[in-house]
Chains A and B, each alone.
Chain A
Amino acid sequence: MNTSETSSNPWGHRIGLAVLIILAVVSLLPIWIAVKTAFTDTGAIYTSASSLLPKDATLFNFQRVLGLANPADPRLAKSGLGKIDFLRALLNSLIFTTMVVVPQIFFSAMAAFAFARLKFPGRNLIFFLFITATMIPGAVLFIPNFILMKELGWLNTFQGMAAPYALMTPFSIFFLRQMFLGTPAELEEAAHIDGAGILTIFFKIMLPLHTGSLATLTILTSIAMWNEFFWPFLIGRDPAVQVMAVAINSFRTQSAAGTPDWTGLMACTVLGIIPVALLLIFFGRKVVESIQFSGGK
């Protein structure tokens, strides 16, 4: 894999590799500190700030933020522990993510197919408008969209949190249109000659042909929605619907006066990271390449 310029200069190569490794450690160290803290006994954080490994390692922090600890456990009576039902928040994030991803990908695929493969008046203009929509800052949209949700009576509901993302995002349509444009036309022509209608071509040829791209977009959108904070924070602050990021934020502001419940907070943080970490571990190449694509064109 070495290019000629690096192999001709082994020291340059070694220094470069060392810098890469140091930067990788910097990227991951804060995450490791969170993992360490989540496994540390709450009483031990005062004496283990500089340690890289958990002191008096325990699973108790995870149990208590998930509401799985024995209510009679004496450790629950300790002062400074926050109150949170993080299991509920994780479930809410799962519901929210599903309610956005499934319809968004489906409707975006339909629109992307029309933009890539069908001819109709206004096609280029509408597509151009969609793309310029990416330039409208969220800072302009959040007030009118919030008011709309209030008027619909959708505050503190899942449909209110999901609605703005569920029908389309400009990025999804752009991404899928590029994929559809890249397919050879012969397949569709053949199907068309055989008398297949547009619906058949879309469902029986296009979608199955592009399961890879659809899966990639599903992963990217799922990560983005799992992480989403601002809109759910405006719409869904009720503990019954609050998602992971909103729950962590309100859990941390609970203890604004005293020392925050750091071990509990880090247990929540680690739980919030796990789904993303799993996707990155199992689909790393797909995630990396699709993000490269998203900025490359």
Chain B
Amino acid sequence: MAISPSEATLIVGATPRRSRFQIDKTVIIAYAFIAPAVFGFLIFYLLPTFRAIYISFTDWNLLRIPKVVGWANYDRLIHDKNFWASMWITLLYVIYNIPPQLVFGLVLAVLLQRISKSVTFRSLFLAPYLLSNVIVAMLWFWTLDPILGFGNAVLGWFGIGPIAFFNSQNLALLTIAAVNTWRHTGFTALLFYTGLQNIPHDVYEAARIEGASPLRQFWSITLPLLRPTIAFVLVTSVIGSFQIFDTIAVTTMGGPANATQTIVWYVYQNAFASSRMGYASAMSVVLFLFLIVISLIQMRVLRSGESDLK
């Protein structure tokens, strides 16, 4: 994602400035071209970020004018058991969700690379990712319904169940993680597949001449050379997973007994069910800082900026 300074930039109509006080016409046109986008960026990205920080220092229910309360919301957050429980549940969700997604995605990508490069296969696997989160949640809510669902009927043939996947304190979070793994695996595989295409064939050729087994080739060539792709997938999917909301809103609504009360669901509840805008904003700011730290650690560990390919 970094902008490389060496990228060729072509300059149209750039004439040298004649005087210090005369602004080039091209510059004015250029600013006019970016003006709508800059406006959108300021109004809906940059200013709201600062406003969220400001609101986090206030007590505000949207009815009165906000009252500045200093660090009170952050103080409250530190002592709020539910906040830490939500962070923990979210972390568990990420742990349930990300490793299977990466492993299945990688296996699928290698299979696609070796067995069939057809676009039809790739679009079939991408299909779940192109569906709305709400639709995906409904599909599985129905398939896993304990009374009438197809999934439980099939389990019944093997004498298992019925299992109330979404309504069990132990299984609800795992089930939601599995549903999102189902939705994202094809997408992850597609990104890995692109990374695999970029590994030059002669590296494998050389390894085979040296007598390296396919498994050895995978560990010593494929994985290391795929590292930048793995880093990108990991960072973006972890950021996304920490913000899980849609599936929970449609299926468990934080239940049963808060078993799926993830952090964004808890923030949403505070903001819209309890009208605690200040407190909800404080939690979102903490989540933001937390995500920045996690992303930096991941990028550092995986040395995402550099490739082993020369």
Contact = CB atoms under 8 A, between A and B. Distances in A.
18 contacts: A16-B111, A20-B116, A23-B108, A110-B36, A111-B33, A118-B29, A118-B30, A119-B11, A128-B3, A139-B264, A140-B52, A141-B45, A148-B43, A227-B130, A229-B132, A280-B127, A287-B123, A291-B129
Given A16-B115, A139-B264, A295-B236, 19 more contacts: A20-B111, A23-B125, A49-B148, A103-B36, A116-B9, A117-B10, A118-B11, A118-B26, A119-B30, A126-B38, A139-B267, A140-B287, A145-B44, A168-B40, A227-B131, A269-B139, A293-B194, A295-B232, A295-B233
Contact of B135 (A33, A128, A199, A245): A245
Interface stretch (B67-75, B169-177, B239-247): B239-247
Nearest to B264: A139
Interface in B1-16: 1, 3, 7-14
B261 to A, nearest CB: 14
A246 B198 CA distance: 41
Given A108-B37, A115-B34, A129-B46, A120 B26 contact: yes
A150 to B, nearest CB: 7
Interface string B261-292: 00110010001100001001100110110011
Contact of B243 (A31, A138, A181, A291): A138
A248 B138 contact: yes
Contacts of A150: 62
Interface in A97-141: 103, 107-108, 110-111, 113-121, 123-124, 126-131, 133-141
A145 B48 contact: yes
Interface bracket on A: 35 or more
A5 B222 CA distance: 15
A111 B290 CA distance: 32
B48 A141 contact: yes
Interface stretch (B77-85, B95-103, B149-157): B149-157
A11 interface: no
Interface bracket on B: 35 or more
A131 B26 contact: no
B250 to A, nearest CB: 5
Interface string A1-29: 10101100000010011011001101110
Given A141-B49, A188-B12, A129 B41 contact: yes
Contacts of B11: 117-119
DSSP class of A's interface residues: helix, strand, loop or mixed?
helix
A284 interface: yes
Contacts of B127: 27-28, 31, 277, 280
A43 interface: no
A147 B62 contact: yes
Output the residue of A27, A123, A226 with the most chain B CB within 10 A: A27
Contacts of A188: 10, 12
A265 interface: yes
B8 A181 contact: yes
Interface stretch (A56-64, A71-79, A159-167, A208-216): A159-167
Contact of B49 (A124, A134, A136, A296): A136
A179 interface: no
A208 B29 CA distance: 20
Contact of A113 (B33, B44, B295): B33
A137 B243 contact: yes
A142 to B, nearest CB: 8
A240 interface: no
A124 B198 CA distance: 28
A160 B115 CA distance: 48
B57 to A, nearest CB: 13
Contacts of A111: 33-34, 36-38
Interface string A257-297: 00100100110010011001100100011011001110111
B126 interface: yes
Contact of B131 (A143, A144, A276): A276
A291 B127 CA distance: 12
B249 interface: yes
Contact of A291 (B29, B33, B126, B242): B126
A133 B84 CA distance: 27
Interface string A59-92: 0000000000000000000000000000000000
A119 B26 contact: yes
Contact of B115 (A6, A134, A276, A280): A6
Interface string A164-181: 101110000110000001
Output the residue of B12, B41, B182 with the most chain A CB within 10 A: B12
Interface in B221-235: 229, 232-233
A46 B124 CA distance: 31
